[in-house]
Amino acid sequence: MTAASDALADRLRPLLPALAAKSMFGGVGFMLNGNMAIGTTAKGALLVRIDPAHQAEALARPGAYEMHMGPRPMTGFIAVAPETLADEAELRGWVAYALTYAETLPPK
């Protein structure tokens, strides 16, 4: 993990007290019923679980961009640029967005 990833994870923990945190993707993932709901990337971006059917809608929000694992896009996830997350209301909005979708997923 990096300092940027750790700093963002520290901001997320109070918003997600009931979720388990797990090191992944060079950052921290917060798990809901065994599914990753939201997390951080090594570069300090927010990794957000989304409904793939609503990807265009999510990508239209400020700071959002397509997340890639190597050369391939990660279906069901987008990233949000760190500078967008300086606004606490924006961070909270993304947390709510991710949890709303993750709650619909079957437990693993």
Q: What is the Cα–Cα distance from 93 to 24, expressed in whole angstroms?
A: 23
84, part of any domain: yes
pLDDT tens sequence for the chain (108 residues): 688 889 999 999 999 999 999 998 789 999 999 999 999 999 999 999 999 999 999 999 999 999 998 899 999 999 999 999 999 999 999 999 999 999 999 999
CA proximity to 94, closest of 68, 65, 64? 64
| Residue 84, both tokens | 């967008």
Q: What is the pLDDT of residue 11?
A: 96
Q: What is the pLDDT of residue 95?
A: 97
Predicted TM-score (pTM) of the model is: 0.93
* CATH code at position 13: 3.90.1150.30
Q: What is the pLDDT of residue 1?
A: 66
- Helical segments of 15-86, H only: 55-59
Quote the number of domains for the chain: 1
Please give the residue range of the domain that contains residue 8.
3-102
92, part of any domain: yes
108, part of any domain: no
39, part of any domain: yes
107, part of any domain: no
| Residue 72, both tokens | 């391939």
94, part of any domain: yes
Q: What is the pLDDT of residue 4?
A: 83
Query: Which 3 state secondary structure label does DSSP give 30?
Result: strand
